[in-house]
Structure 1
Amino acid sequence: MPSDRPRLVLIDGSSYLFRAFHALPPLTNAAGEPTGALFGVVNMLRATLKEHPERVAFVSDAPGPTFRDEMYADYKATRAPTPVELKAQIEPMLAIVGALGFPILRVAGVEADDVIGTLARAAEALGMDVIISTGDKDFAQLVSPRIRLVNTMTNTTMDREAVIAKFGVPPERIVDYLALMGDSVDNVPGVTKCGPKTAAKWIAEYGSLDGVMHNAHAVGGKIGEYLREALDQLPLSRSLVTIKTDVELDVGVEDLALRTPDVETLRALYTRYEFNAALRDLDKGVQPALSPSDAPAGEAQVGDLPAAESAGGQTASAGNYEAVTEWPQLAAWVDRLKQAELIAFDTETTSLDAMSARIVGVSFAVEAGTAAYVPLAHDYPGAPAQLDAARVLAALKPLLEDAAKAKLGQHAKYDINVLAGAGIRLQGVRHDTMLESYVLNSTASRHDMDTLAQQHLGYQTIHYEDVTGKGARQIPFSQVDIGVATRYAAEDADITLRLHQAIWPKLAAEPGPVSVYRDLEIPLVPVLARMEQRGVLVDVDALRKQGRQLATRMQELTEQCHALAGHPFSLDSPKQLQALLFEELKLTAVLKTPKGQPSTNEEALEAIADEHELPRLILEYRGLAKLRSTYTEKLAEIVNPRTGRVHTNYHQATAATGRLSSSDPNLQNIPVRTEEGRRIRQAFVAPAGWKILAADYSQIELRIMAHLSGDAGLLAAFRSGQDIHKSTAAEVFGVALAEVDGNQRRAAKAINFGLMYGMGAFGLARQLGIGRGEAQDYIARYFQRYPGVRDFMDRIREQAHRDGYVETLFGRRLYLTSIHSRNQAQRAGAERAAINAPMQGTAADIIKRAMISIDDWLGIENASARMLMQVHDELVFEVREDAVDLIRDGVRARMSAAADLAVELVVDIGVGDNWDQAH
C-alpha cells in the first residue's frame, strides 16, 4: 500500500468557536470588545498552520434553518439563544480565518457537519487521509481507516479503536447509538433513561438499531417499556443524527488549498483584538513546522501491533504469514503459485501515485489463512538482507504476465500500473474484490479492504498507520520493520482472497450483476490502466500564460466593479454583495437564503444580470477565479516530469450509477461552455505528427429514454433525425416544427433533461423563470404528447418500491435504501434516482462497452492511435496524422455498435491539434 497519501484537514469552525467561548475566561480588549473565543480560535488555527496541511477548509454553520428543521420542527428548539458576547465574535472570527488564507465554507440549508461529512467522504474516495478537527462526538460516525478526529483542545486523536474504546460501539454503529440515547442539546428524541452503557449494550446484543427495534419485545423492565414507547420516533432520531455526506457543493476537494495570508489585514485585526503573540510572529514572518517532539499527544507510535478483532470483539486469527528472504523460499512459492487456480497478490510501494511509486515488496496468497511477503527495498538501519529486487521480479514476471494464470486483487488497477513501471505487464486479472463489492451493491458501503473485511468477515484488519505511525512521526513503508511489514502486507493478500471467497458466491448468484462484473468492469481494468499510463500531453507554457491572463482580467474586473459601485468592496464576500446589490443598488432579490436574506449565489446573480452590469461582472470574476485556482495553476503542477504528461486516476467504484470519475486532475469538471474554459482544453495537445480526436455520444440519455419507454413520439423523432428539442417544443407548444423559436426550444430542452432527473414543476419554473402553474402546464402537455414516458416512470417507481432497486439495460443494479423511508423528502429523492439511474447507468455501461471494444481493436501497442481520456459521454484519442480517417471510422463504428437500441446511437467526432479544436 502507498505510504504518502495526500491529506485534507477539515476544521469544525462552529465547534472551535463554541468550545473556545466556554473554555476560556471572558477576555476583552481595551475597547471592551469580547475576545476570549476569538483568542482560542486564532491559537488553534495557528497550530493547524504549523502542520502545513496540503488541503484544508474551515467549515461553519450558515445562518438560517436546515433540512433537519423541516424534518422535525422541534429540532434544537430547547437550545438557549446564542450569547451576545459570542455572537459578536463570529464576524471577526471569519475575517481572521479568511485573512489567514483558509477556505471558508458556509452552506445554507445544511449544517457544518454535513459539509464536513461530504468533503471527508469525497476525499476518502480519492485516496486521501482526512483529519476532522472537532470536539463533536457526532463525527465519530465518519471515522474510518482514512478519516480520524483530532481534538485540538485536549490534544487527542480518535481513530476506530478510540471510538470503540470511548463509546463501546464501532463508527458504523455511532448513528444507532446516538439515536437510542437522543440528544438533549439538539432536542433529538431518544429512548427515555437510555444512557451510553445501555445503548452500547443493546447494540452489542442485537447488532444495530434495527435489531434493537426488532427485538424490543424481549427487553424487560421499565427500560423495555420506554424502548417500546420510542419505536415510532427512533427512525426520525436516526435521520436527525446522521451526518449527510452528499451535499451539493460549489467546491471540490481539489479546490481547498490555503491562500496566501493577507498580512496587512491580519496585522490590523491582531492589533485591534490585542493578540500580541500572534502579532509578534506575524511581524517576524514566523510559521515554524512542528518537530517530532511537538507532535500531538495520542499519536500512535510504531511498535507492537494490536491484535486483529472481529465484529464481536474477539481476537481473530491473523493467519500463517511468511517473510520470504531466502532463494529456496522464493522458489517454493513460485512453484506453489504455478499450481494455484487463483493467485491473490498485492504490492507495497513508496507512493500513492502509481506513476512514480517504487516497489518495496510484494505479497501473495493461494489459500485462506496462508500468505507470503517478499520484502525488496526496506532500507532502515539494521534491516536484514533481502533478495535482489531485479532477480525476484524476473522470476515472477512469467507468472504475472501469463494471461492464462488467474489473478485476484483489491483495486488491482493500482498494482497493474506499479508493475508496469517495473517492466511487468500484469495479465490475467480475473477478479477484484473492490469491484465485486461495488457491482454487488454500489451503495451498501464503501469498497475498501478494511470496510469489506469488517462487513463480510467480521475481521478488523491492520491499518497502515498501525505499522508506520501517524502525523509528524510517520515513517515510509520502506522503513517499517520487516517482521511487522510481513504481517501487514501478507494480511492484505490473505484478506483479499478471503473476501473473494465470501463475496463472489453472492455476486455469481445474480445473473444481471455478475454479467456487468464479468463483461464490463473486469475487462475495463486493464483498459483504464493503459489510459492512465499513457496520460495526455499538456502545454505547460500555455497554461501559465493563461493563468497570467486570468489574473490580469480578474484585476480588471475588480477595478470595474469598484468603479461601478463607487467604492471598494470584496467580490468574495456574500455579505458585502448583499448590501451593495440589494440595499445600495436596489436590485431585485429573486432568490432568498433559508433565513430570508437575498441570495448572491450564481443562480441569483444570473437572474438579475439584465438589471445592472455589476452582477454579470461578478459572475465573470467568480468563473475566472475558479478556473485559475483549479486548472491553470494546478494542472501545471501535476505534469509528470518524466513523461511530460498529465496522468489522471480513473475511479470505477465511486459513482453509484456506474459512471467513471477521475482525480488529479478531475477531467469530468474541466469547463467547456466559456471561452476561458475552452482554453483549458486547448492546453491538452497532440505531439508533433499526431492529432487529437474526440468522439462524443449525441444525446445518449434521451435516446436511452426513448428505448426504455418505447414512446412512439420520441422514437419517431429520433428515427427521422429531427432536432429532438425542437421536436418536443413543437409537440408541447402545438406549433409547426419550422415555427419553433429559441425560447420554446430552450423550454423543451429543460423539460427533456429535467424529467429524466425527476424535476418537478417548481424546479422547471425556476430554471425557465416562469410561474409554477405555467411550468406544470408544460409538463402536462409533455406527458400528453409522450404518454410512454409517463408510463415508463410509473413502472420504474413501482419496480423500485417492489424490489428495492432498479437496473440498467445490461443488468447493473442501483439499490435505493430510502425508497421505503417514512420521510417524504428522502422517499421522493429515491424515486427521482429510480427514474434517472437506468438512463445514466445504461449510458455509463454503453461507453464502457465501447472502450473495451475499441481497446481490443487498437491493441496494446498500436502505432497509429491511443485512447487517452474518458469524460462523461466522450472518448479522446491521440491519432497519427496519416491514420485519422481509419481511426475515425473505426471508433464511430464501435461506439455506435456498443448497444442495440431502438434508435441509432449517433457519435459526433472532431479532430484538431488540441482537445478544444477536436470539438
Structure 2
Amino acid sequence: MMVQNELERGARQRPLLMLMDGHAMVYRAFYAIQYAMNLRSTGEEVKGVYGFTNTFLKSISDWNPSHCAIAFDVKGPTFRHEEFAAYKAQRPHAPPDLQAQFPFVKQILEAFEVPIYEMKGYEADDVIGTISAQAEQSGLDTIILTGDTDTLQLVSPQTRVLLSYSAQQQKVFDEEAVRERYKGLGPEHIPDIKGLEGDSSDNIPGIPGIGRGTAIKLLTQLETLDNIYERIDEVVSPRIRQLLIDHKEAAFEGRHLTTIVRNMPIKFDVEGGRFGAFSREKVTGALRDLEFVSMIRRIPGSSSAPPAQPVQGTLMDMSVTAEVEEETPREKIETMYQCIDTAQGLAALIEELYLAKRFAFDTETSGLDPTRADLVGLSFSTKAGNGFYVPLGHTEGLQVPLSEALKMVKPIFEDPSISKTAHKASFDMTVLKSYDIEVKGLGFDSMVGAQLLGYNAIGLKQLAFQLLEEEMTSITNLIGTGQKQITFDHVSIEAATPYAAADADMSGRLRDLLELKLSGTDMNKVLKEIEVPLVPVLVEMQSNGIIVDTNELNAMSGDIAAELTTVEEEVYKEAGQEFNIKSTQQLGTILFEKLLPPARLRELGLPAAKKTKTGYSTDASALETLKGASPLVEQVLRYRELSKLKSTYVDALPTLVNPKTGRVHTNYNQVGSSTGRFSSSDPNLQNIPVRTELGRQVRKAFKAESGWSLVAADYSQIELRILAHYSQDEALMGAFHRDEDIHAATASEVYDVPIDEVTLDMRRLAKVMNFGIIYGLSAHGMSQQTDLNIYESAKFIDSYFAKYPGIRFYVEEVKQQTRKDLFTKTLLGRQRFMPEINSPNVHVRQGAERVAINMPIQGTAADIIKIAMIRIYDQMRMDELQTRMLLQVHDELIFESPPDEINAIKKMILDLMPAALELSVPLKVDIKEGPNWGDLE
C-alpha cells in the first residue's frame, strides 16, 4: 500500500497516533473470513480475533506509530437510539460467537498495553472523533483505521483515515482524497450529504428521491444544508424543491445522527498512549493462548528482550521443536509460478522433479466427482514459492496434448522412490487412476496431517491462511457462482496458472510445517503407518465402485410411492383433515392441539409437548416417546421412513450410476471424524438401514458382477472386545475367551443366573447396557431405551458395574486422565483434544466425559479395520487376485470375488483381520457371501 503524504512511514516530522475502530475491525474480520477458526484447546470461534490481530500487527508494521489507542462500542443504546428509535433498527443482533470474541481482542490489546476507550451512550466513532480532536491539540498526527465512511468527516491536515473495503482493498483519505470522492466537497460536508441522501446501513432515511449525486449538486451550489433551506427558492428543480420542503425534519435529523461527537467527556492520555512499552513475553503468552503461534514472529520491537528459552510446547502446539520453528523470523516467501505448455517444457519439469526427489502435486478438474471429472491440468511444486502448472484440457490456449502429457508424467507418478505430497490425496489419485496412472510413493497428505493435529478448518485455503498467513484466491473468483458458474476447463490458462500452482506450492509448504509439528509424536506413527498407506486402498475402492440394479430400484420406487399414498390417506383419516405431513408446524398443531392436547398427555402419563421457536417439536425422538398414544404417530414415522429411503436411495442411486463404468462410486472422506472413522458420501453407502425390511430390499439392489459373489467380513463385537482390553475386566475377557454370546453372558452375570436360563428380555437389557456403556449411558438414557424407569435403570447400572468392576474403573480412570491431559487417545496414539471436559457448564462437561469414554474404543476400532484393509490390499496385490475390495461400512468390509478365488479371499481375511492388532482378547471375524448385499449368508 503506497501512501504519498507526510504521514508515510519514515517521512513524518510529528508523532503519529494510530486510532482503530476495534468493533468495526472485529466485525469485518468475523464476516470476511469465510470459514470457521476454532481454538483446539476450547473449541471457541476466534476468526474475528484472528482477523483483528492480523490487521493490528500489519498496521503497526506499516505505520510504525508512536502512539496507539482503540475505541469500542459499549453494549446498549446510545443517545442516537434515544433520539431516533429506528436508528440501526434493521441490523441483526451480533451472533453469540461474535460477541464472545471481544474479550479475547481486549486481552491481546492489554498484552500490548494499548489503551482502550469506550463510553456508555456513545459509539466508537464518537470516541475516535473526540480523541482525534485532542490528539491534534497535543501536536500528534492521527491515522484512523476503520471501515465506516462516516469517519471521513474527521479528516483534517493532521488526521487521515485508512478506510478498509475488504482484506485486499484499502485507501488512505486525506482532504484531497475526500474532495475527490465527493466531487469537490470536503470532510465538513459529509454530515450534510448524509442528511440529504440518508444512510441505509444506519437506517437513516434521508430525503426520498435524493441520492448522492443530487445531494452533492445542491451542496456545491448552496454550500450547507442550512443554506439550502434558507435559500430554498434557488433550488431549480420543482420536484427536488418540494421533496426538500416535505422532508426538512428528516434531513436535519439525518445530519444530526451522522455528525460524530468530538467533545465527549473523556480525556486522551498522551503519555499512556505511547506504543512500544510492552512485555514481549506477555504478548507471546497471549498469542499462544489463542494459538496464533505464527504471529509471534511479527511482534514488533519491545522494551523487554525475547525469552532466552522457548516456552514449553502445549498440547495445541504439539512440540517444543515446532514452537522454536514458529518463532524464528521468516522472510515473506516470494512466489514464481510458471505455465508449462510445451512437451519440451514438460520434459524439463519432469527432470527437475526427479532431481528434487520429492514434490507436491494437485489436479485441476472439470468437476468434484473424481471418477467422472475430466482432467484439466496438473500442478507441481518442489520447494516453497515455486509452482508449475501444466494445462491439459482447457477449451482455449496452447497446451501439451493430453495423451502425450499423461504418457510423459506416468513414470514419475508411478515411481515409488519419488515422494509425493498432496492435499486430500485420495481425490487427486482417483482422478489420475481413471487415466491409468497409479500414483506410488505418497509420502504426506496435508489434509490428513492437519486433522490429526486437531485443526478444525482443514481445507487447503483455510490452512494456508491460518498457518502460513497466505490468502489464496477463491475458486469462485475464477469460475463464478450460481447459474453463471463455469467449469475449470473454461477458465483461461493465464488465470488458472497462479491459482493451480499455488495449490501445489501451499500443499508442499504445509507438509514442511505439519511434519515438524508431528515429529516425535504418536500421531506421526498413525500418519505414516495407517493414514498414508490407506490412501491407495481408498483410491482403489472409489475406483472399483459397485453394481446397482436400477431396474429393481425403479420397481421399488413405484411400490414405495403406492405405499406412501396409502399411509398419507391413513394419516388424513386419523387427523380428520388433510394437511402437509412434511410441515412440522402443521403436524405439531394436529398432534398436540387436536389429538393429544395437554390433558390427554397427562391422562396417558406422557410428558408435555416440547415447544421451539417455530412450534411444537415433532422430531423422531419426540414422536418415539408418543408411540401407542395415537395411531397417527406410527403412521407419520412410517411416512418419514418411506419418504427418506425413496428420496435418498431408491430414486437417487440410479442417477448416480457412472455411465463410463456402469457402477456407483462412493467417495470416502478420510478425515470424516475425530475418532478416525471415515465417512462415505455421494452417495453415503454407510447409512443404508440394515435392520428394516426396506433397508434390506435396497441392499439387494447392490450386486456382484455376473458369475461373481459378494463376500462380507465383519468384526464381531469389536468395540466390546476393545473395552475388555482397556478395562482388563476378568468377567468380560473370560466371556470372549470362551466365545460366549456376550449379551447372554452379561445378563447371566448381572442377574446371577446360568447362561442357559437367560431370557430374551434379560439379554435385551444387557445388550442395551453393553453398547450403551461405550457411549457413557446414564440411568436416564437407559430408561429412554427400555421399559425400565430411571430408578430401575440406575439399579441395573449399579448391578452391571458390581459384576464388571474393571469397566467401572476404566470409565472413571479415562475421565480423570482426560481432565488432566485435556486429550484422550487410541491404543495406537491417535488423539482427540478435549479441553471442554473441564468446562464449568455441566452439560458440556458431561458430554465431553461421554466422548472421552467412547473415543479410545471407537477410534481403536477404526484404526484396526484400517490396518486390516491395508494388509489385505497389499496381500491381494502380491497374490495378483482379481478380487476387489468394494466397500467399508464401519466394522464390515465387502469384497467382490470370482468363484475360483472365494476360498482364497476367505482364508486371507481370516488370517489377516483377526491379527490386525493384538489385544487381551481375540478378535473374531464373521464372513458371509452371496449374489447381492441383502442376501449375504
Same fold (TM over 0.5): yes
Q: 2:355 aligns with which of 331, 336, 339?
A: 339
- Partner in structure 2 of residue 575 of structure 1: 589
- Partner in structure 2 of residue 730 of structure 1: 748
- Partner in structure 2 of residue 321 of structure 1: 337
| Aligned partners of 1:216 and 1:224 also within 8 Å | no
- Note closer, same or farther for the CA distance 1:818–1:138 as it changes in structure 2 (3 Å cut): farther
Q: 1:835 aligns with which of 853, 860, 868?
A: 853
CA–CA distance in structure 1, aligned partners of residues 788 and 76 of structure 2: 44
Match of 2:866, as an amino acid? K
Q: Once the 2 structures are TM-superposed, how far is the Cα of residue 215 of structure 1 from its aligned partner?
A: 6.3
CA–CA distance in structure 1, aligned partners of residues 363 and 607 of structure 2: 53
**1:796 to 2:814 alignment:** yes
Q: Once the 2 structures are TM-superposed, how far is the Cα of residue 140 of structure 1 from its aligned partner?
A: 8.0
1:265-664 matches, within 5 Å, as 317=333, 319-380=335-396, 383=397, 385-441=398-454, 444-510=455-521, 512-572=522-582, 573-583=587-597, 586=600, 588=604, 590-595=606-611, 600-664=618-682
| Aligned partners of 1:910 and 1:917 also within 8 Å | no
| Aligned partners of 2:883 and 2:895 also within 8 Å | yes
Q: Once the 2 structures are TM-superposed, how far is the Cα of residue 415 of structure 1 from its aligned partner?
A: 1.1
3-state DSSP class of the match of 1:876? strand
- Note closer, same or farther for the CA distance 1:164–1:845 as it changes in structure 2 (3 Å cut): closer
1:194-205 matches, within 5 Å, as none
- Partner in structure 2 of residue 17 of structure 1: none
- Note closer, same or farther for the CA distance 1:555–1:184 as it changes in structure 2 (3 Å cut): farther
Q: Once the 2 structures are TM-superposed, how far is the Cα of residue 221 of structure 1 from its aligned partner?
A: 5.7
**1:778 to 2:796 alignment:** yes
Q: Once the 2 structures are TM-superposed, how far is the Cα of residue 315 of structure 1 from its aligned partner?
A: 12
Q: 1:745 aligns with which of 740, 763, 768?
A: 763
CA–CA distance in structure 1, aligned partners of residues 417 and 53 of structure 2: 50
Match of 2:375, as an amino acid? I
- Note closer, same or farther for the CA distance 1:166–1:338 as it changes in structure 2 (3 Å cut): closer
CA–CA distance in structure 2, aligned partners of residues 485 and 338 of structure 1: 25
CA–CA distance in structure 2, aligned partners of residues 681 and 374 of structure 1: 43
1:216-255 matches, within 5 Å, as 216=110, 219=113, 223=117
CA–CA distance in structure 2, aligned partners of residues 690 and 142 of structure 1: 54
3-state DSSP class of the match of 1:337? helix
Q: Once the 2 structures are TM-superposed, how far is the Cα of residue 857 of structure 1 from its aligned partner?
A: 1.3
3-state DSSP class of the match of 2:611? coil
Match of 1:579, as an amino acid? E
CA–CA distance in structure 1, aligned partners of residues 825 and 51 of structure 2: 38
- Note closer, same or farther for the CA distance 1:591–1:584 as it changes in structure 2 (3 Å cut): closer
CA displacement 1:593-644 (0-9 Å, x = unmatched): 4439975443444444345544323322221111111110111111111211
CA–CA distance in structure 1, aligned partners of residues 599 and 802 of structure 2: 45
- Note closer, same or farther for the CA distance 1:800–1:215 as it changes in structure 2 (3 Å cut): farther
**1:878 to 2:889 alignment:** no
Q: Structure 2 stretches of 5 or more lacking a match? A: 1-25, 38-46, 58-71, 78-87, 89-93, 121-293, 300-329
Number of paired residues?
657
- Partner in structure 2 of residue 128 of structure 1: none
CA–CA distance in structure 1, aligned partners of residues 27 and 765 of structure 2: 44
| Aligned partners of 1:145 and 1:450 also within 8 Å | no
| Aligned partners of 1:578 and 1:599 also within 8 Å | no
**1:903 to 2:921 alignment:** yes
- Note closer, same or farther for the CA distance 1:800–1:754 as it changes in structure 2 (3 Å cut): same
| Aligned partners of 1:432 and 1:522 also within 8 Å | yes
Q: Structure 1 stretches of 5 or more lacking a match? A: 1-136, 149-159, 171-179, 186-194, 227-309
| Aligned partners of 2:367 and 2:487 also within 8 Å | no
Match of 2:502, as an amino acid? E
Match of 1:712, as an amino acid? E
**1:819 to 2:837 alignment:** yes
CA–CA distance in structure 1, aligned partners of residues 74 and 649 of structure 2: 45
CA–CA distance in structure 2, aligned partners of residues 499 and 838 of structure 1: 28
3-state DSSP class of the match of 1:657? coil
CA–CA distance in structure 2, aligned partners of residues 181 and 691 of structure 1: 69
Match of 1:602, as an amino acid? A
Q: Once the 2 structures are TM-superposed, how far is the Cα of residue 564 of structure 1 from its aligned partner?
A: 4.1
Q: Once the 2 structures are TM-superposed, how far is the Cα of residue 357 of structure 1 from its aligned partner?
A: 1.3
| Aligned partners of 1:447 and 1:653 also within 8 Å | no
3-state DSSP class of the match of 2:896? strand
CA–CA distance in structure 2, aligned partners of residues 712 and 139 of structure 1: 59
For CA contacts below 8 A with separation 6 or more, give which structure has more relative contact order.
Answer: 1
- Partner in structure 1 of residue 715 of structure 2: 697
CA–CA distance in structure 2, aligned partners of residues 218 and 334 of structure 1: 50
CA displacement 1:299-349 (0-9 Å, x = unmatched): xxxxxxxxxxx9789996550111112343222211111111211111111
Q: Once the 2 structures are TM-superposed, how far is the Cα of residue 372 of structure 1 from its aligned partner?
A: 1.0
- Partner in structure 2 of residue 671 of structure 1: 689
- Note closer, same or farther for the CA distance 1:749–1:333 as it changes in structure 2 (3 Å cut): same
Q: Once the 2 structures are TM-superposed, how far is the Cα of residue 356 of structure 1 from its aligned partner?
A: 1.4
Q: Once the 2 structures are TM-superposed, how far is the Cα of residue 541 of structure 1 from its aligned partner?
A: 0.6
| Aligned partners of 1:679 and 1:916 also within 8 Å | yes
CA–CA distance in structure 1, aligned partners of residues 33 and 899 of structure 2: 50
- Note closer, same or farther for the CA distance 1:654–1:212 as it changes in structure 2 (3 Å cut): farther
CA–CA distance in structure 2, aligned partners of residues 139 and 630 of structure 1: 39
Q: Once the 2 structures are TM-superposed, how far is the Cα of residue 729 of structure 1 from its aligned partner?
A: 1.7
- Note closer, same or farther for the CA distance 1:370–1:569 as it changes in structure 2 (3 Å cut): closer
CA–CA distance in structure 1, aligned partners of residues 31 and 912 of structure 2: 43
CA–CA distance in structure 2, aligned partners of residues 208 and 448 of structure 1: 26
**Larger Rg computed on CA atoms:** 2
1:81-92 matches, within 5 Å, as none
3-state DSSP class of the match of 1:668? coil
- Note closer, same or farther for the CA distance 1:798–1:583 as it changes in structure 2 (3 Å cut): closer
| Aligned partners of 1:758 and 1:836 also within 8 Å | yes
Q: Once the 2 structures are TM-superposed, how far is the Cα of residue 764 of structure 1 from its aligned partner?
A: 1.2
Match of 1:556, as an amino acid? T
- Note closer, same or farther for the CA distance 1:221–1:689 as it changes in structure 2 (3 Å cut): closer
Match of 1:738, as an amino acid? D
Q: Once the 2 structures are TM-superposed, how far is the Cα of residue 732 of structure 1 from its aligned partner?
A: 2.0
- Note closer, same or farther for the CA distance 1:915–1:181 as it changes in structure 2 (3 Å cut): farther
Match of 2:446, as an amino acid? T
Q: Once the 2 structures are TM-superposed, how far is the Cα of residue 166 of structure 1 from its aligned partner?
A: 15
CA–CA distance in structure 2, aligned partners of residues 594 and 402 of structure 1: 62
CA–CA distance in structure 1, aligned partners of residues 622 and 760 of structure 2: 23
CA–CA distance in structure 2, aligned partners of residues 769 and 527 of structure 1: 45
Match of 2:781, as an amino acid? G
- Note closer, same or farther for the CA distance 1:594–1:181 as it changes in structure 2 (3 Å cut): farther
CA–CA distance in structure 2, aligned partners of residues 216 and 680 of structure 1: 61
CA–CA distance in structure 2, aligned partners of residues 806 and 359 of structure 1: 41
Q: Once the 2 structures are TM-superposed, how far is the Cα of residue 720 of structure 1 from its aligned partner?
A: 1.4
CA–CA distance in structure 1, aligned partners of residues 28 and 803 of structure 2: 50
CA displacement 1:546-568 (0-9 Å, x = unmatched): 11111111111222333344444
- Note closer, same or farther for the CA distance 1:415–1:218 as it changes in structure 2 (3 Å cut): closer
CA–CA distance in structure 2, aligned partners of residues 585 and 540 of structure 1: 50
CA–CA distance in structure 2, aligned partners of residues 566 and 456 of structure 1: 61
3-state DSSP class of the match of 2:661? coil
